Chains A and B, each alone.
Chain A
């Protein structure tokens, strides 16, 4: 009886997550014994944990186990493994830049890293889960950790406000999502996405309950990725959160939410494609356009990047609408690219935070080329990548997404998307103008900690490498095609 439910295989396929949980606890315990000056060891511990988990994940793939476990609640297929690698990379980069920032803010404690690791575990389960119960718990594990992290600067009013808004809207969207899940359960009698897909295919196509389920699910999930009209929380949360956490939530949880969306829509709701594709198309157009147009008028770099990330969510929806191999590979490679370019640019924003300068206004970057030429050039590379100009990685990502909708003959969507990409040049280059073509207003130079330097080096190298020689990365991203099996 016992053996039937707990097999060694089950433990093995979640081994990376077990390790992460262990290290999350470890960080908190070790933290108790550390002096203020040694708090940087917390970051180190967390990094070791991630490295170990990455190694375990790598081994997991080659050990060729049965990848389905826990009575089919978890499916650790190559789609899941691919996204887990993306999360691990993104989290490691964020941890690298955190130590210095936290000590400037005076909040350098171990629970920060523990929460990041817990959130990472949540994300890993989000991509592994194929059962709605698992998916929901994983989603909440990720989200609850994030709520705390966004409000991590307890004495900072902006951080409090951001946490409150993020929490209220996050919990609200989970409620809506759950309602959709409950209806899906009702019509299919199961919480396994594969069974749901079968049952849905057997039902008549115009089914009001199924429609309500799709609408509420879509709304709840769109909240998580900041799709219009559910995007209002995003700029506030991004602006108010500690910059390192903004870096984190702009990449990894977004990728996790998207992977979840892919699982639910491509695996579970495929039979209802005709009802969700038009809805998502409209959302996609609105998201891209509104994100880009609102970004134009921002004067705060964090808000500008927040709106830009809304626009990017719009581009990503193209891949889902296409729903073909190009689209899925596109989303997968886009998140890999996005992890590097977005963390790169946010790292620079983090580095601009100095003792008595917030450094989040675009004007604070005036004449950056004179003061910190290296940082200005890096910023340029990341901005070009976000704008999708070759030979940077961003172009490869955009190319795939645009190609996917053209392959499925959504020409109007494609044209709107490329025009949006052209508009986005305007605000990205506004930052460039300030950095390269304005006179400097102060003499204060950036000081880059070793962690920040490492993070910048990694992000720069990969942003350029994926742009110039994308072949191996595309092969890597094609792992995500196991979604269709």
Chain B
């Protein structure tokens, strides 16, 4: 148990990698064995991640379960991982959605099953690594590693213009992360020049910044901030850098869309919260109005564009732009409610949008189309699916007692109470996004599910299978849990978020 506690984070990263290696050794003809093995490893990782929740101590604001080993000592590069209240739930989200997407791909993926699950597991390792890394070099490594499996997931198992979408995805992300690399290296040398210590260690950097040992000229800070921001904003995506997202989401296979929307987008917001805000306090203040404006444009633009999409998946994709706008808004209002709301909304979005993509995927498997016009009255042949769809739609809209409400509510409360100029105007504008969200989601639901069955082909569609229930029910239960008893989740964030907002003058550096 002792071993387990001290190496749990490494185990989390390595289990999927081992799973991928095991899969690579299996016979590629035995699809069922491959699926079960992948599911087994996904589940194992998820169980390990639950151990984090059980052992996580809520009172502590620092990084827990930290592991810190020399990796490339010649240049002060370390394998430093740790988890705090901000990353804890995101890790759980990643492990949870991986299990869900493996289950969801059971029937949908018929060709090249082996490679598919290998890439899913490698992607999981990359995602977990990004959330856990505390060494910026390590962070960059995971950030880049993750691109490749996602590229293949879209490129091989996607639909229609899959290669175009995959290339667009990778080029956008690579350009962003390239700029981030320059910024990371600049910080590395700035820190070394100021303190004489060559390190990429994030807590040490933070400590140096907080204690003013590392003072970065505001002008340089602005550039560094923008370089990090470019990388994260592309990932989130913040308007106007979102154009890769609809293509990637639409063409990706269901599991790809779920992980892309559910986890990968959160890396952008996580990065903003973790690195931009904490490393560059002055620059953050300078750019806040600008970023909030972009976030609000994103909220409204995403909602309006989602409304007119004829394609279900594209609609959900644009709704992501809108929802992530809320998250960004929450981060940049800088108070307890806003930031916790933002983190909470990241989780909600993972669950609700993940759920929506799953349902769209299920409908697509039955009808092989995603055109909203092709549907209508699907509730008649598929009542169970309709119920699940309804709950998840409501969760996405933010109905009270469901998860989405808590997140949006906290962000809006945070916005109204924020100590920035024109906070109330901004927040009111953002609040209209909630209304727009309700309009397009419900309208979509009505057109797809309600009314008479207009197409002959839709009449005899089978309802949810046993496996599909197993995919959706956990999501719905979670949505309810998070809506009814958010305190369970928020409690673990409190300490870390409050430290982020009020950094102590000198923090303890964990050796």
Does A touch B (CB under 8 Å) in the complex?
Answer: yes
Binding site for B on A (CB under 8 A): 384, 389-391, 395, 399, 402-403, 406-407, 411, 414-415, 418-419, 421-423, 425-426, 429, 433, 436-437, 469-471, 474-475, 478
User: A418 to B182, Cβ gap below 8 A?
Assistant: yes
The answer, yes or no, to whether B73 is at the interface (CB within 8 Å) is yes
Q: With the chains together, A460 CA to B189 CA distance in Å?
A: 32
Indicate whether A391 sits within 8 Å of B175 (C-beta atoms), given known contacts A403-B185, A478-B74.
no
Instruction: Give chain B's interface residue range (CB within 8 Å of chain A).
Output: 20 to 34
User: A474 to B72, Cβ gap below 8 A?
Assistant: yes
B486 CB to nearest A CB, Å: 37
Contacts A403-B185, A422-B175 known; 18 new A-B pairs at CB < 8 A: A389-B144, A390-B140, A406-B182, A411-B186, A414-B182, A415-B179, A418-B179, A418-B182, A421-B178, A422-B178, A425-B171, A429-B170, A433-B155, A433-B163, A436-B155, A437-B156, A471-B74, A474-B72
Indicate whether A411 sits within 8 Å of B182 (C-beta atoms), given known contacts A471-B74, A478-B74.
yes
User: A389 to B148, Cβ gap below 8 A?
Assistant: yes
User: B74 to A425, Cβ gap below 8 A?
Assistant: no
Which residues on the A side are within 8 Å of B174 (C-beta)?
421-422, 425
Q: With the chains together, A469 CA to B74 CA distance in Å?
A: 12
Indicate whether A474 sits within 8 Å of B156 (C-beta atoms), given known contacts A402-B185, A419-B175.
no
Which residues on the B side are within 8 Å of A418 (C-beta)?
178-179, 181-182
Which residues on the B side are within 8 Å of A469 (C-beta)?
71
Binding site for A on B (CB under 8 A): 71-75, 140-141, 144-145, 147-148, 151-152, 155-156, 162-163, 167, 170-171, 174-175, 178-179, 181-182, 185-186, 188-189, 223
User: A390 to B141, Cβ gap below 8 A?
Assistant: yes
B442 CB to nearest A CB, Å: 38
A325 CB to nearest B CB, Å: 11
User: A436 to B156, Cβ gap below 8 A?
Assistant: yes
Closest 7 CB pairs of A and B: A418-B178, A422-B174, A390-B141, A406-B185, A422-B175, A422-B178, A474-B74
Which residues on the A side are within 8 Å of B147 (C-beta)?
389
Return the chain B residue nearest A404 by Cβ.
Answer: B185
Q: With the chains together, A259 CA to B188 CA distance in Å?
A: 28
Option from A414, A436, A470 in Cβ contact (under 8 Å) with B72: A470
Q: With the chains together, A478 CA to B181 CA distance in Å?
A: 23
Which residues on the B side are within 8 Å of A406 (C-beta)?
182, 185-186, 189
A214 CB to nearest B CB, Å: 29
Return the chain A residue nearest B142 by Cβ.
Answer: A390
User: B171 to A389, Cβ gap below 8 A?
Assistant: no
Which residues on the A side are within 8 Å of B178 (C-beta)?
418-419, 421-422
Which residues on the B side are within 8 Å of A478 (C-beta)?
74
B391 CB to nearest A CB, Å: 37
User: B155 to A402, Cβ gap below 8 A?
Assistant: no
Return the chain B residue nearest A433 by Cβ.
Answer: B163
Q: With the chains together, A374 CA to B72 CA distance in Å?
A: 30
Indicate whether A474 sits within 8 Å of B179 (C-beta atoms), given known contacts A406-B185, A426-B171, A429-B151.
no
Return the chain A residue nearest B112 by Cβ.
Answer: A369
Which residues on the B side are within 8 Å of A436 (C-beta)?
152, 155-156
B70 CB to nearest A CB, Å: 8
Option from B141, B144, B167, B188 in Cβ contact (under 8 Å) with A403: B188
Q: With the chains together, A415 CA to B72 CA distance in Å?
A: 24
User: A389 to B145, Cβ gap below 8 A?
Assistant: yes
Q: With the chains together, A399 CA to B171 CA distance in Å?
A: 19
Specify which of A407, A418, A426, A433 lies most central, judged by the most chain B CB atoms within 10 Å of its CB: A418
A216 CB to nearest B CB, Å: 34
Q: With the chains together, A478 CA to B74 CA distance in Å?
A: 10
Q: With the chains together, A391 CA to B146 CA distance in Å?
A: 11
Q: With the chains together, A391 CA to B188 CA distance in Å?
A: 20
Return the chain B residue nearest A406 by Cβ.
Answer: B185
Return the chain A residue nearest B190 by Cβ.
Answer: A406
Indicate whether A437 sits within 8 Å of B182 (C-beta atoms), given known contacts A474-B72, A474-B74.
no
Return the chain B residue nearest A425 by Cβ.
Answer: B174
User: B167 to A391, Cβ gap below 8 A?
Assistant: no
Q: With the chains together, A472 CA to B156 CA distance in Å?
A: 37
Which residues on the A side are within 8 Å of B140 (C-beta)?
390
Q: With the chains together, A406 CA to B140 CA distance in Å?
A: 17
Which residues on the A side are within 8 Å of B170 (C-beta)?
425, 429
Option from A402, A421, A437 in Cβ contact (under 8 Å) with B163: A437
Which residues on the B side are within 8 Å of A415 (C-beta)?
179, 182
Return the chain A residue nearest B157 by Cβ.
Answer: A437
Q: With the chains together, A418 CA to B73 CA distance in Å?
A: 24
User: A426 to B167, Cβ gap below 8 A?
Assistant: yes
Return the chain B residue nearest A389 by Cβ.
Answer: B144
Which residues on the A side are within 8 Å of B167 (C-beta)?
426, 429, 433
Which residues on the B side are within 8 Å of A390 (C-beta)?
140-141, 144-145
Which residues on the B side are within 8 Å of A399 (C-beta)?
181
A467 CB to nearest B CB, Å: 9
B233 CB to nearest A CB, Å: 16
Q: With the chains together, A358 CA to B223 CA distance in Å?
A: 50
24 A-B residue pairs with Cβ-Cβ distance under 8 Å, sorted by A, are: A384-B148, A390-B140, A390-B141, A391-B141, A395-B141, A403-B189, A406-B189, A407-B185, A407-B189, A418-B179, A418-B181, A419-B179, A422-B175, A425-B170, A425-B174, A426-B167, A429-B167, A433-B155, A436-B156, A437-B156, A437-B162, A469-B71, A471-B73, A475-B74
Q: With the chains together, A414 CA to B141 CA distance in Å?
A: 18
B319 CB to nearest A CB, Å: 29
User: A402 to B182, Cβ gap below 8 A?
Assistant: yes
B17 CB to nearest A CB, Å: 11
Which residues on the A side are within 8 Å of B73 (C-beta)?
471
User: B155 to A437, Cβ gap below 8 A?
Assistant: yes
Return the chain A residue nearest B174 by Cβ.
Answer: A422
Return the chain A residue nearest B182 by Cβ.
Answer: A414
Q: With the chains together, A406 CA to B180 CA distance in Å?
A: 13
Q: With the chains together, A429 CA to B147 CA distance in Å?
A: 12
Q: With the chains together, A414 CA to B223 CA distance in Å?
A: 14
Specify which of B151, B162, B178 lies most central, judged by the most chain A CB atoms within 10 Å of its CB: B178
B288 CB to nearest A CB, Å: 25
Which residues on the A side are within 8 Å of B189 (C-beta)?
403, 406-407
